[in-house]
Amino acid sequence: MTTDQAAAETVHPLRRLLHGDTGPDVDALDGLLDTPPFTRSAPPCGPERHTRTYDRLRALGEWVGGANALQHDPARLLAVLEWSATVDPPLFLAGTVQYAVCVAAMTELGRPGPYLDPLIDEVDRHETFGSIMITEVGRGNSHLATRTEARFDPATREFTLRTPDPTAAKFMSHVAGTGRAHMAIVYARLLLPGQDCGVFPFAVRIRDADRITDGIHITELPETTSVPLNYALVTFDNTRVPYDGWLRDDASIAPDGEFTDPLGDPDRRLVRSLSVSSNASTGAAAALTAAARAAVTIGIRHSQHRLTMGRLRTDLPVLDYRTQQDALYGVLAEVYACGFLVARLKGQYVRQRSAPTDLSAAHRPVWAPWASVSREQALTKVAATRILQNAAGVCRERAGAQGLLTANRLLEYEGLAQVYQAAAGDNLLIRLDAGKQLVEDLTHTVPAPTEVGELISPGGVLALALLRERGLLTELRGRVEGVPVEEKTAFETWNPLLPDLVTLADAHQQRLLLEAFAAAVAEAESTVTDTDIDQAPHLPALHALHALYAMKSLEQTLSWHLESGSLTSSDALRVHRERARALDAVHPHLAVLLDGCAPPDARLRAPMAEQDVVAALFASGGPAT
C-alpha cells in the first residue's frame, strides 16, 4: 500500500476526531462555491468587496433555508461558520453577527410583537442585515459601563436611545452605506425616572436601502484589510424604538411604569443580556480552528512542492530541511490539539446552549463579561485565535513572498486572527477574568496527576502540566489570602498579580489542550482491535504527533519546572532530545496527518498549495495593460 493510498483510507477516523458530527454539514456547503457570488472576484477591501460579502451572505442564507433554521440547529450553525471562515473571513464575521448574535438575541431574549416579528422575518430572509453595537469608542472596558441611554416614555410605551457624548459612540458596527437595509442589536442602559435598570439589548432598524433612520448618525470608518467590512461609528439622538424592540427577557414595565426584573441584579442582567456571546465564542473557536487547518494545509503543501537549489543538494523540496519541518510540524501539532479541544466544546454546546442565570461572587465580571458567560468557551476562543495567528503567520513566513499574495489566503487568515484578538471578547481581558475566577472560586480544583510512568512522555507531560497549574493556583491563592478583606477588591491588591493571572489562565488552557489530545488518542485506540492495528495507520500518525505536541508544550514551560524542582537540567536535555525524535517520527506519517485535517482543494483555492505552483500562479493573475 502506498503512502497516498494509506492516507486516503484513513481520512475518516481523523476527520471524525477533529470535526465531531459537523463534518458532513460543512462539506455539503461546497456546492455554493460554483454559484455567481462565490466565483466573482473583488478587491481586497472597499465598497465592491463589501457588496460581494453581502451577496455571499444572502446566497449562504438561502442555501441553508434562512437564518432562523440555523437558530434551531446549533450543529449546522457551527458548520456554516466553520465553512465560511475557511472560504471568506468577512463572510464569516458578517454571518456570525447575523446568525449567532442578532437572530439569537431577538428570538431568545425578545418577546413577540408587531415591530419585532417582521424584523426577525426580514433578517431570516436576508432582506435586512444585522450588526451588533456594544463597544463604545472612548473608554476601555465599556461593556461594563455602557453609557448609551435607553429612556422609557410611559405615554407612548416606547424607548428613546441617546448617545450622551461622542466618547459613547458605538464602534466597529458594520452598517455604513451598502445600498442595503441594516438593523443592529444595540446595548444600552435602561433608565426610568430615578432608576438605573441595567444594560439590555434593543433591536433597532438602522437604515433601509435608501435612508438612515431618524435620530441615527453614521460615520464611515477608514478601510481595513483585516476582515474588511463596512465599519462605522454610530450615535443616537433620541432614536425611537417600540416596546417590543426591547429584548427584555423576563423583565417588564407595567402600565403604571413599575419595572420588574426577576434577575434583580445588574451584573446578572448584563451577563444574561450578553448570553448570545456563548454562540459567538463557540462559533469563533470552531471557525478559527477550521481556518488554522486550512492555513497549515496551504503551508505544508507549498513546502512539499517548492524545490530549492541550495548547494548541499539541488532540486530538494524545502520541506526536507529540518528548519522547515521544525516550524511546520509544530504548527500542525498545535492545530490538531486545538481541533480536538474544539470538537469537545462543540459537543457540549450542541447539547446545552443556555447561559447561566446564577452568578457567584467569584464569577462576576471585573474587566469584561465574556468569562462570566462561559469561561471555557471564552478561553477556547482565545486558544483558537492564538493558534490560528501562529499557524497563518508561520506558514506565511515560511512561504517567502508567495505568502504575501492575498490569493494564497494566509494574509486573510492572519487578519482574521488579528481581528479576533478583540472580536467576541478581548483576549487579554478574558484571560484576566478567567485567572481571577480560578483563584477566587474555591470550588475549582486542579486534578492531581494520576500514575505518571515515564516523565518525558505525553502522559508525563500532562502530569507535569497539572503540577504546574496546581502550583500556580496555590501560589496565587496564598498571596490573596493574606490580604485584608476590605482590600480584596482594591486595584492595588490585584494589579501586581495581573501577569500571574494571565499565566494561570494560559496554564489552565494548555492543560485542557493536552487532555483533549490524550483523549482523542485514547478514543482512536479504543476503536481499533489488535487484529486491525496494521490497517489503522492513523494510530502511529497520531502517536507521533501527540509526542511532538507534548514535548513542544513542555519545552515552553521548562523554566518553571526547573525553578520549582519538578525537573532537573538532565531532564531538560532529555526533553529537547525527545522533541527532536518526535519530529523525526512525524515525517513518515505526514500524508495521513495532512489529509486528516485538509479542507477540499475547491475550498482552499490557493495557488501556492497546487502541485504546479507556477502554472497556478500565472492562472491566478491577468495580463498587464
Of 542, 549, 575, 512, nearest in space to 329 by CA:
549
Work out the average pLDDT over 239-265. Answer: 96
Q: What is the pLDDT of residues 155-185, one digit of tens each?
A: 999 999 999 999 999 999 999 987 899 999 9
Q: Which residue has the higher pLDDT, 315 or 531?
A: 315
| C-alpha–C-alpha distance, residues 276 and 268, integer Å | 14
Instruction: Kindly tell me if the per-residue pLDDT of 2 is higher than 60.
Output: no
Backbone angles phi, psi at 416, to 5 degrees: -60, -45
**C-alpha grid cell, residue 204:** 433597532
Of 113, 65, 70, nearest in space to 246 by CA:
113
**Helices 74-87 + 47-64 axis angle, to 10:** 150
Backbone dihedral region for residue 583 (phi beyond 0: left; psi -120 to 50: alpha; all else: beta): alpha
Q: What is the pLDDT of residues 333-365, one digit of tens each?
A: 999 999 999 999 999 999 876 555 578 888 999
- Please provide the size of the chain in residues: 625
| C-alpha–C-alpha distance, residues 187 and 204, integer Å | 10
Is the dihedral angle over the CA atoms 188, 191, 196, 197 positive or is it negative?
A: negative
Coil, strand or helix: which one is 234?
Answer: strand
Backbone angles phi, psi at 234, to 5 degrees: -135, 135
What does DSSP say about strands 231-242 and 216-220: parallel, antiparallel, or unpaired?
antiparallel
**Helical ranges in 146-276 per DSSP H:** 266-273
Coil, strand or helix: which one is 138?
Answer: coil
pLDDT reported for residue 8: 45
**Which secondary structure element, helix H or strand E, spans residue 514, and what is its range?**
helix 498-526
Work out the average pLDDT over 189-199. Answer: 96
Distances (CA, A) of 325 to 301, 304, 580: 12, 10, 11
**C-alpha grid cell, residue 237:** 439622538
**C-alpha grid cell, residue 161:** 436611545
Instruction: Kindly tell me if the per-residue pLDDT of 226 is higher than 60.
Output: yes
Instruction: Kindly tell me if the per-residue pLDDT of 5 is higher than 60.
Output: no
pLDDT reported for residue 9: 43
Q: Which residue has the higher pLDDT, 103 or 620?
A: 103
| C-alpha–C-alpha distance, residues 376 and 370, integer Å | 10
pLDDT reported for residue 177: 85
In this structure, of 382-391, 553-562, 615-624, the range with the lowest mean pLDDT score is: 615-624
| C-alpha–C-alpha distance, residues 547 and 549, integer Å | 5
Residue 163 Cα to chain centre, angstroms: 30
pLDDT reported for residue 278: 94
Instruction: Kindly tell me if the per-residue pLDDT of 515 is higher than 90.
Output: yes
**C-alpha grid cell, residue 533:** 492495528
**In this structure, are residues 546 and 517 in contact, taking their beta carbons and an 8 Å threshold?**
yes
Instruction: Kindly tell me if the per-residue pLDDT of 473 is higher than 60.
Output: yes
Q: Which residue has the higher pLDDT, 472 or 25?
A: 472
Mean pLDDT for the chain? 94
The verdict on pTM exceeding 0.85 is yes
Is the dihedral angle over the CA atoms 82, 88, 93, 94 positive or is it negative?
A: negative
Instruction: Kindly tell me if the per-residue pLDDT of 456 is higher than 70.
Output: yes
**Helical ranges in 21-135 per DSSP H:** 23-28, 36-39, 47-64, 67-71, 74-87, 89-95, 104-108, 116-124
Vertex 429, ends 428 and 431: CA angle to 5°? 65
DSSP state of 212: B
Percent of the chain with pLDDT over 70: 96
Q: What is the pLDDT of residues 406-454, one digit of tens each?
A: 999 999 999 999 999 999 999 999 999 999 999 999 999 998 887 667 8
Percent of the chain with pLDDT over 90: 87
Confidence of residue 460 (pLDDT cuts 50, 70, 90): very high
pLDDT reported for residue 168: 98
Instruction: Kindly tell me if the per-residue pLDDT of 1 is higher than 50.
Output: no
Residue 520 Cα to chain centre, angstroms: 21
Confidence of residue 531 (pLDDT cuts 50, 70, 90): low
Q: What is the pLDDT of residues 589-608, one digit of tens each?
A: 999 999 999 999 999 999 99
Confidence of residue 540 (pLDDT cuts 50, 70, 90): very high
